[in-house]
A and B are shown apart, each in its own frame.
Chain A
Amino acid sequence: MRKFIVKIFLFSIIIIAIAICLECYIRTIPNTYSYKHKWIKQHKDSIECLITGSSHAQNGINPDCLSLKAFNIGMSSQNLTYDKALLDNYVPMCNNLKSVILTISYPTFWSKELEETKYWYYCTWYKLYMGIQIHPEWWNRYSFELAKPTFVREKIMAYWKHAPLNYYPNGQGTTKVLNQPTPWYQWESAVNSHTHRKDWSMVDYRKSQLEDIIKLCRQHCVKVVLVTTPTWHTYYDRLYDKQLSKMYEIIREIVAKYPDEVVYFDFLKDARFKEDDFFDCHHLSEKGAKVFSTILNDSIHTKLKFHKNCR
């Protein structure tokens, strides 16, 4: 029995040592989150516009096409909880910040907390690399990359194979590393996963989070630009009317309540975008992002004077 206990102890020590080494190693691998955090800290005195939101923002808005010096902190599956947490950190830090562009999509007000989804491990990256302390305790799964070991393996393999980065220096996401556009039957599944016919329990909470963001920006004299990015007809033709109406109702209320701080632009069904402007039914391609960002910049310029070309 003693021999067994000693060997089990020894085996455990070896496994723990390997785990610690892996954890330390993986944290040194460059990633989107650490890059964006570092960039903002380095340019906090010069940045004028922050772009935030989900993958619709990350892939859909090209900061280089905006008049202000902008940076994209949008991330895949980012919800208002993390938009708010990031802005809570960065808005006070950036002394020269003039505006925040925040994408509001069809599922925004219904999205679950990231921790409850299959992308829960993204919370780890916010915590480890961007200093977001929504889960400050060290003993939870958000404190260790190894809490999702399969992703650790994929990250290490991608790094060793010199896989292309999934972000540009301006923070915009790149679709180059993604697979081919999703097949036809998954366009419908995208709408199904974004549609919520019964569970509207998150709506009021998400609305209050949006208001908190606006109040924070107001406190620092920063304008908030809400935007709904373009989608392809195979997506917007299948949307649930009540959910879409509720989204617009909330936005109208917010704009009416904060007329000096908030402007809204709706490009959901904008006919100016062609099929090759899209990567899939609800994400713009890089070509489409350039087109959209230019149009967005011009639209903002008509409503917010400081967005004139002053460079």
Chain B
Amino acid sequence: MGGKKINLDWWIAAANILANLLILGIYKYFNFFADSFVIACEALGFHPDHVTLHLVLPVGISFYTFQALSYTIDVYKRKIEPTRDIVAFFAFISFFPQLVAGPIERATNLLPQFLRPRSFRYTNTVDGLRQILWGLFKKMVVADNCAPFVNQIFENYESYNGFTLFVGGLLFTFQIYGDFSGYSDIAIGSAKLFGIELMRNFNVPYFSRDIAEFWRRWHISLTTWFRDYIYIPLGGSRCSQLKVMRNTLIIFLISGLWHGANWTFIIWGAYHALLFFPLMLLGKNRKHTGLVADGRWIPTYGEILQIGGTFLFVVIGWIIFRSENIFEAINYITRMCTHVLIEKPFCMHVLKFPLLMLVIEWVQRDKQHALQIKDGSWLSYHGILRWTIYIALFILTIGYMGENEQFIYFQF
């Protein structure tokens, strides 16, 4: 009887997972795989009929599908009891602050919060508003000001010299961070207004000292999801070296594919896997787990080199990510390296916003977000100064906001 029940649970969970992945697959990947299949056949001399679907991609499908999958798997693994409260369940799946672009929440964290009574908490609410303000600054000032120049450079990359192309890659690096982490901050801050605690999604990733640390700080909700639901079930790091590498490669490729139906995303994932392998093989992928320059204002020369080197690798990865196709990515990077001319690009002035963001985030790198003010800190005793900062940041955001651009991660 017990054995039958386990089998039934397995079948239900499997059917549920398959249904979710099927929906995601059809909406997001059908045309990509169909096109790739046709191209491959044509390369072999066959000419199959080309079938494509004209479906509008539902906003946020990648996010809430994974969130639903986490519920199914956690229930199957007995990590959480299945809920009978349909309202709480749908609130968990479709909680508006994080519905369209995450963070991808776990049922073990979010669902119980809907089931227990909540009351207004002043400190949480104020902290939420601060986080929203910081998120708005990153999105409206940093990301939206970089966007037009990024678009112009990437659409006309053949007209620019190498230095300008590098600055274009740099601007996109800041654009995607400002856009995505800004959205996450707004989502987390908004949730706090309702007494809901969402998980942190970004932890100052551009101060990472190696690629492994970068992936522990970038899109944390997604990377931990892959770790817990794919990497560990495949054996994780508790198997042979070859299998560990295989598992790592699978995770990075799926991570790339998750972002969209384009070979550039897959190549981007593979690129990061290649950067990760040396660290893993040398056993140094968990070398940097603490705070960079802990207790110091300035990092050491070694740390500066590590941060700079990691950042450079990340920028190249983002160039691949942003390109329309892999040929464009190759041409862009080739031109960036071969047409080097040190003249001031037309878009240098835009870098002041990301620099300001980086400085503030560096100073506050030990906090959950850049505007977090801990009780007992000197700023917590200076209300007028705090309010001046809030008002100044608010006016700065309104006065320097770029042209309204859609959130990049909405397309995923």
Contact = CB atoms under 8 A, between A and B. Distances in A.
Interface of A: 1, 3-4, 7, 11, 14-15, 18, 118, 149-150, 152-153, 183, 185
A14 B388 CA distance: 11
A11 B387 contact: yes
Contacts of A152: 399
Contact of A185 (B126, B156, B390, B398): B156
Given A3-B122, A185-B156, A185-B159, A149 B391 contact: no
B373 to A, nearest CB: 14
B156 A149 contact: no
Contacts of B351: none
Contacts of B400: 150, 153
Contacts of B387: 11, 14
A48 to B, nearest CB: 42
Contacts of B398: 149
Contact of B125 (A4, A15, A183): A4
B391 A15 contact: yes
Chain A to chain B: the 3 pairs with minimum beta-carbon distance, closest first: A153-B399, A149-B398, A1-B120
B201 to A, nearest CB: 26
Contact of A15 (B122, B159, B394): B394
Contacts of B395: 18
Interface string B135-161: 000000000000000000000100100
B80 interface: no
Nearest to B383: A7
Contacts of A3: 122
B275 interface: no
B394 A4 contact: no
B299 to A, nearest CB: 34
Nearest to B122: A4
B357 interface: no
Contacts of B394: 15
B398 to A, nearest CB: 5
A40 to B, nearest CB: 33
Nearest to A151: B399
B267 interface: no
10 contacts: A1-B120, A4-B120, A4-B122, A18-B395, A118-B403, A149-B401, A150-B400, A150-B401, A153-B399, A185-B156
Contact of A150 (B120, B156, B399): B399
Contacts of B159: 183, 185
Interface of B: 120, 122, 125-126, 156, 159, 387, 390-391, 394-395, 398-401, 403
A150 B125 CA distance: 29
Nearest to B159: A185
B126 A149 contact: no
Given A4-B126, A11-B390, A15-B391, A149 B399 contact: yes
Contacts of B403: 118
B339 to A, nearest CB: 17
A243 to B, nearest CB: 25
B49 to A, nearest CB: 31
A18 B396 CA distance: 13
A181 to B, nearest CB: 14
Contacts of A15: 391, 394
A18 B400 CA distance: 16
Nearest to A118: B403
A272 B333 CA distance: 46
Nearest to A183: B159
Nearest to A7: B126
A11 B159 CA distance: 48
B278 to A, nearest CB: 42
Contacts of A150: 399-401
A155 B323 CA distance: 36
Nearest to B395: A18
A276 to B, nearest CB: 24
A15 B393 CA distance: 12
Nearest to A154: B399
Residue of B387, B394, B398, B399 ringed by the most chain A CB atoms within 10 A = B399
A18 B391 contact: yes
B404 to A, nearest CB: 10
A83 B399 CA distance: 31
A199 B268 CA distance: 41
Nearest to B123: A4
B88 to A, nearest CB: 24
Nearest to B129: A8
A185 B122 CA distance: 55
